[in-house]
């Protein structure tokens, strides 16, 4: 009878040691994560040249708000953009979760949810990346859209078919959502300061189909969905638009 008892004791002892090690490792990883995040926040505050800011949300070091100015010589210049940041349990071995709080008109950013399509937030993440360097990458993304790998397909179509119209709409969104500079008077007149401008459409096109008796909101929805913008207007017949409006 002694052998089974000794065996049970050995198994229980090994199990206890294993569980203790697991608990220790979990606590160590959590402590390491906290120390790293606190260091990154402090480093960012001490760096005055990057204009990248990171603040706590509800006093939690694992739920943060990042912000940065819109890059120069882009439609986002002059705007102030905020990003929601969630630190996962296994950070920095797992990428941070980021999405824009500020509404942005950009092919790689969802105009509805703020979700971001960027490789370093997915499979290209590396533990050497930091919160600041990731926010700088988001700032760079505003300079260099990737319409062939979009998060927002409609905005990407707008970008590829009419860059000038896209820039006007992105600049308008920067003004109304990111506190950007007021658009020049002529541009304001063209944009009409309403949902037509936000959709990146021409007022004349909306008026044309609205005059047929269709509701403005439905006209805007259909024209936006069909990407009735720029050079693409010539590829879509008026009959096709009316068919969609009648559905």
pLDDT category at 181 given cuts 50, 70, 90 is confident
Kindly state the DSSP code that residue 126 receives in the 8-state scheme: -
Element (H, E) at 237: none
Average pLDDT on 151-155 reads 91
Kindly report, residue by residue over 87-143, the tens digit of the pLDDT: 999 999 999 999 999 999 999 999 889 999 999 999 999 999 999 999 999 999 999
Average pLDDT on 78-93 reads 95
Q: What is the CA radius of gyration of the chain?
A: 26
Q: Which of 14, 26, 44, 117 is catalytic?
A: 117
Q: HSE of 36 in the Cβ direction (CA atoms, 13 Å)?
A: 20
pLDDT category at 225 given cuts 50, 70, 90 is confident
Kindly report, residue by residue over 2-30, the tens digit of the pLDDT: 556 555 556 556 565 555 545 444 444 45
Average pLDDT on 149-171 reads 91
Q: Could you tell me the two tokens for 161?
A: 């078919």
Question: 3-state SS of 127-160?
Answer: CCCCHHHHHHHHHHHHHCCCCCCCCCHHHHHHHH
Helix/strand/coil for 96: coil
Cα(174)–Cα(41) distance, rounded to whole angstroms? 27
Write down the pLDDT at residue 232. Answer: 83
Kindly report, residue by residue over 24-60, the tens digit of the pLDDT: 444 444 578 999 999 999 999 999 888 999 999 988 8
**Cα torsion at 98, 99, 101, 103 (round to 10°)?**
150
117 assigned to active site: yes
pLDDT category at 185 given cuts 50, 70, 90 is very low
pLDDT exceeds 90 at position 192: no
Q: Would the CA dihedral through 202, 203, 209, 215 be positive or negative?
A: positive
| Vertex 213: Cα angle to 209 and 218 (nearest 5) | 60
């Amino acid at each position: 009878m002694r052998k089974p008892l000794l065996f049970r004791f050995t198994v229980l002892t090994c199990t206890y040691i294993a569980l203790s090690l697991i608990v220790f490792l979990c606590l160590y990883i959590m402590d390491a994560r906290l120390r790293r995040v606190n260091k990154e926040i402090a480093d960012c505050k001490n760096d005055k040249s990057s204009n990248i800011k990171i603040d706590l949300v509800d006093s939690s070091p694992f739920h943060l708000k990042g912000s940065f100015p819109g890059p120069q010589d882009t439609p986002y210049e002059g705007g102030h953009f905020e990003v929601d940041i969630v630190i996962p349990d296994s950070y920095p071995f797992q990428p941070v979760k980021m999405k824009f709080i500020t509404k942005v008109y950009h092919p790689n950013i969802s105009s509805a949810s703020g979700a971001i399509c960027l490789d370093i937030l997915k499979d290209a993440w590396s533990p050497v990346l930091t919160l600041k360097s990731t926010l700088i990458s988001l700032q760079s993304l505003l300079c260099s859209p990737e319409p062939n790998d979009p998060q927002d397909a409609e905005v990407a179509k707008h970008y590829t078919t009419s860059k000038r119209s896209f820039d006007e709409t992105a600049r308008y969104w920067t003004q109304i959502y990111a506190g950007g500079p007021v658009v020049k008077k002529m541009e304001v007149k063209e944009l009409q300061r309403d949902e037509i401008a936000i959709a990146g459409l021409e007022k004349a096109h909306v008026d044309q189909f609205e005059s047929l008796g269709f509701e403005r909101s439905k006209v805007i929805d259909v024209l936006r969905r069909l990407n009735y913008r720029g050079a693409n207007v010539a590829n879509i017949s008026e009959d096709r638009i009316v068919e969609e409006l009648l559905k």
